[in-house]
Structure 1
């Protein structure tokens, strides 16, 4: 799926995700499930055929899902749900292994873009297009989240979260260094030096898995290349062997050499990098609309932290966005598919979101509440008012983004020059296009 996310601003707020914040409350063509009831969860005490479904989800901060599934099972006595939870990188790895061995669960969490597209492209997911029409998904979920869950015109997942990213910092660290959110890129760089001189790690990134440092890489690429070139690069309509790409990797190397990242960050787990922020031993981290919840979960208070859009003179100044969803196994039997759709619609419904809003994150459902414990959610969503770009590990084909990850590490440890990084990524992009 390739879409122009420079127009995401109008889509993000269309339908009233914020306006309604005070309200309560490749596809498998042959697998068309029948209508499963309203998206709020179906009839209570359904006495139909007994069925057990398996679900894979993330682990950190997902206790709300266990509670919601317990609620669901009370209303649907004929459906048993078995949940397995994984970390961010383990779920990616285990899903691919399960796909190759034909042992995928009945329903699983994944991301939009190229991360989620693998499964419909290989005929592993239920085509939800007709179900979406029957159940009026356009009235239930944010259009941007639906778009990011759609491949070749077919809906491949039920949207769960819609996320916008920004630069977070502990207020105490900035106050101690007498800093305010930077207005320009030059201000940002000056603050990195000030933070370093004050005895804290300026940038809390862990490059194990590649995706965490990638958030800074893509922000730098947006700054040096501008929105038009950035979009062309991620859609493989421009050469990666470009001066803006070289400049991006020069800057990553510069920040590495100046000690702006944690020591040994190339092999550091992102959660270890996050811990530096919780402990207020680091200045900045690039996280999204879920980070209020992370802060509250880790024995701190989200109100003691602030967030700003990555500073750039580019117009519009765009943050990155991405969606998360539940996909349904296209090869499961019909009863399991219907039960899985029913569950996915239930745990993404307005009533469930509002019940667990303090822990839920940034919902894809429309007309949901915003909790007092997520004080930065509206600010982050508003930051996309002038446009946004799809996060790079979902916008790029996976074989290309893996080369970006490799380039980040090799430049950091001095094995590649920034020019070599640009050339190697361009070669990977060319190889991908030639194979397609």
Structure 2
């Protein structure tokens, strides 16, 4: 628990929620599930569930349907936006008030809870219930820590560079095949009166999606993986070049004015208004486009051309973790609920708003025309998105470095040095724990 407390103190000192990747949402409502024994005995079981408020609009009706078949299980749903749910979960973990089940991401965000003994070990259930036949293997792998399955896979997300077709047609552009072509197109878009890159750096994670692809380009897949795994020094020429490029793009006006403090939702609005040309979003973005009153067929996406074959996109999984401290009836009910919410029948029923399912054998919607091509783009290789691959205190240093380089407060070399210090500090403290 020493590690948990120190992680919480780090977040408190930063005065903000931990940063991460997106694609879901939250609010409040109800839940269901319970063991067959509890049901037969007439015992009422209440399962509290925290989810996101965006991308989970379908869950209220799904929970109601679940309760019809499981009248002794009540479902109480609370919904949060991306950063608030991270903060709320960490606070609840520290105060021992975690819900019975919660949404979280894979990587270092989701690993916090099993590492601190807070989640139910689902390894045996995954084997008994044949999860390998139900969920994408990559999603199960990214929900596994220390050899133990710690979450029910919900989504497997893949990122790409999106653009309005009309903007590219007007500029007479086609998706770039090389990094040099990509950079040439940034200037072409700017010359046409369009802000090339629609990124908002408030919170850090939106700009990070570009930073990690620049790092993939300059470092190459092997070194990039070592940097993410903290087995190579971040005080490396490839890291310096990455920050140099971020500064160059800032100075050339490729980002929206004041993007360092711009909220990602504001950057997205610029994209819809076609005042900005490119945005780095994922398998959830068809849904976002449609829900904002636009037609996803009027947009397209391409893999970031980092000059490595295959060009690896970043990916991340999302899952439902179950409280390891809840009583058995609640845990049985939560497992039943989680498996129901990720079942083929439920995914198919809500596919237009469900997101990128980790569940196998589902039918994709015509309203999400880019979902398959994004998933296919990761079939030959991918890397775990940075804010899940790195420890959270190192992630926060990366966000700080991005902003300080953009504002001219740090040189790219200073940013690389500070990143390396943060990594070494984390490794030193982790040894002691």
Q: Is the 8 A contact 2:250 2:406 kept in 1?
A: yes
SS in structure 1 at match of 2:304 = coil
SS in structure 2 at match of 1:206 = coil
Say yes or no: does 1:386 pair with 2:343: no
**What is the match of residue 199 of structure 1?**
193
Say yes or no: does 1:116 pair with 2:110: yes
Once the two structures are TM-superposed, the CA of residue 187 in structure 1 deviates from its matched residue by 0.8
SS in structure 1 at match of 2:77 = strand
Once the two structures are TM-superposed, the CA of residue 62 in structure 1 deviates from its matched residue by 1.6
Q: Is the 8 A contact 1:293 1:361 kept in 2?
A: yes
1:294 to 272, 288, 291: 288
Q: Is the 8 A contact 1:53 1:336 kept in 2?
A: yes
2:100 to 106, 130, 139: 106
Q: Is the 8 A contact 2:52 2:103 kept in 1?
A: yes
Once the two structures are TM-superposed, the CA of residue 217 in structure 1 deviates from its matched residue by 0.3
Where do 1:27-42 residues align within 5 Å? none
**What is the match of residue 420 of structure 1?**
414
**What is the match of residue 190 of structure 1?**
184
**What is the match of residue 346 of structure 1?**
340
Once the two structures are TM-superposed, the CA of residue 270 in structure 1 deviates from its matched residue by 1.0
Say yes or no: does 1:285 pair with 2:279: yes
Once the two structures are TM-superposed, the CA of residue 46 in structure 1 deviates from its matched residue by 6.8
**What is the match of residue 302 of structure 2?**
308
**What is the match of residue 321 of structure 2?**
327
SS in structure 2 at match of 1:239 = coil
Query: Which segments of structure 1 move beyond 2 Å, counting only runs of 4 or more?
Result: 45-48
Where do 1:66-215 residues align within 5 Å? 66-215=60-209
Once the two structures are TM-superposed, the CA of residue 74 in structure 1 deviates from its matched residue by 1.0
What 5-or-longer segments of structure 1 have no aligned partner? 1-34
CA distance in 1, matches of 2:40, 2:397: 49
Say yes or no: does 1:262 pair with 2:256: yes
Once the two structures are TM-superposed, the CA of residue 271 in structure 1 deviates from its matched residue by 1.2
Q: Is the 8 A contact 1:106 1:329 kept in 2?
A: yes
Q: Is the 8 A contact 2:34 2:73 kept in 1?
A: no
1:180–1:82: structure 2 CA closer, same or farther, 3 Å change rule? same
- More contact order relative to length (CA 8 Å, sep ≥ 6): 1
Say yes or no: does 1:65 pair with 2:62: no
CA distance in 2, matches of 1:431, 1:219: 25
Where do 1:219-258 residues align within 5 Å? 219-258=213-252
Q: What is the TM-score of this pair, normalised by structure 2? A: 0.89
Once the two structures are TM-superposed, the CA of residue 36 in structure 1 deviates from its matched residue by 7.2
Say yes or no: does 1:376 pair with 2:370: yes
Once the two structures are TM-superposed, the CA of residue 68 in structure 1 deviates from its matched residue by 0.9
Q: What is the TM-score of this pair, normalised by structure 1? A: 0.89
**What is the match of residue 23 of structure 1?**
none
Q: Is the 8 A contact 1:158 1:344 kept in 2?
A: yes
- Per-residue CA deviation, residues 279-315 of structure 1 (Å, 9 max, x unaligned), is 2221000111111001110000100000000012122
**What is the match of residue 3 of structure 2?**
none
Q: Is the 8 A contact 1:207 1:409 kept in 2?
A: yes
Q: Is the 8 A contact 1:46 1:76 kept in 2?
A: no
Q: Is the 8 A contact 1:47 1:77 kept in 2?
A: no
Once the two structures are TM-superposed, the CA of residue 101 in structure 1 deviates from its matched residue by 1.2
Once the two structures are TM-superposed, the CA of residue 399 in structure 1 deviates from its matched residue by 1.1
CA distance in 1, matches of 2:257, 2:107: 32
Q: Is the 8 A contact 1:46 1:77 kept in 2?
A: no
**What is the match of residue 424 of structure 2?**
430
What 5-or-longer segments of structure 2 have no aligned partner? 1-32
SS in structure 1 at match of 2:334 = helix
CA distance in 2, matches of 1:203, 1:48: 57
Q: Is the 8 A contact 1:164 1:289 kept in 2?
A: yes
Q: Is the 8 A contact 2:53 2:79 kept in 1?
A: yes
Once the two structures are TM-superposed, the CA of residue 47 in structure 1 deviates from its matched residue by 6.7
**What is the match of residue 312 of structure 2?**
318
CA distance in 2, matches of 1:402, 1:60: 24
SS in structure 1 at match of 2:58 = helix
- Per-residue CA deviation, residues 333-354 of structure 1 (Å, 9 max, x unaligned), is 1111111111111001111001
